[in-house]
């Protein structure tokens, strides 16, 4: 009975956590955020890729998670010409600085929401990188992270 409650609770929590990312403020109101809940098959692919790139400890954390949320962002010209990226919007070669800022704000909103519900979580750039390398995110996504979630008596992400 208790396990079913946890499983139902984590499903509901994932919805609330992803809503926090979706509604997070974005520069000029331009939404470049992509949020995805990987399937069981995609999680296996993610774990395999993480092991291939040498991230065994983080792959173990992902495999022991109750749920995983992938979040990324694609680049978009905001027409600000602020120079923050080191260039201009017209000669832009890298990622717009505001894309990274928006992604960070969305991630912060999501993990804060998880923490508000007392759900153990971690922000993993290693799993985001693996998600990009094994095409779990749309091709236009340039930066990604994973937020694994766990409901257990001890935080599984800090057993190091």
Tell me, yes or no, if the pTM score tops 0.85: yes
Q: Phi and psi for 24 in degrees, rounded to 5?
A: -60, 145
Instruction: Decide: helix, strand or coil at residue 40.
Output: helix
pLDDT tens, 1-58? Answer: 788 899 999 999 999 999 999 999 999 999 999 999 999 999 999 999 999 998 889 9
CATH of the domain at 59: 3.40.109.10
- Per-residue pLDDT, averaged over 127-153, amounts to 96
3-state secondary structure string across 73-86: EECCCCCCCCCCCC
Tokens of 116: 């508000």
Residue-range definition of the domain harbouring residue 75: 2-158
Q: How many domains does the chain have?
A: 1
pLDDT tens, 89-120? Answer: 877 667 889 999 999 999 999 999 999 999 99
- Local confidence band at 78 (pLDDT 50, 70, 90 cut-offs): confident
Q: What kind and span of H or E run contains 2?
A: helix 2-22
């Amino acid at each position: 009975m208790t396990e079913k409650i946890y499983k139902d609770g984590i499903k509901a929590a994932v919805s609330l956590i992803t809503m926090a990312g979706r509604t997070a403020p974005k520069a000029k109101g331009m939404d470049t955020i992509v949020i995805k809940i990987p399937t069981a098959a995609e999680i296996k692919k993610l774990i395999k890729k993480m092991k291939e790139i040498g991230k065994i400890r983080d792959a173990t954390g992902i495999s022991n998670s109750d749920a995983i949320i992938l979040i990324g962002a694609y680049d978009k010209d905001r027409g600000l010409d602020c120079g923050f990226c080191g260039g201009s919007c017209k000669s832009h070669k890298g990622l717009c600085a505001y894309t990274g800022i928006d992604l960070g704000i969305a991630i912060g909103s999501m993990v804060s929401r998880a923490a508000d519900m007392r759900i153990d979580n971690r922000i993993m750039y290693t799993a985001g990188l693996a998600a990009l390398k094994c095409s779990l995110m749309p091709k236009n996504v340039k930066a990604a992270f994973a937020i694994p979630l766990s409901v257990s008596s001890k935080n599984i992400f800090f057993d190091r």
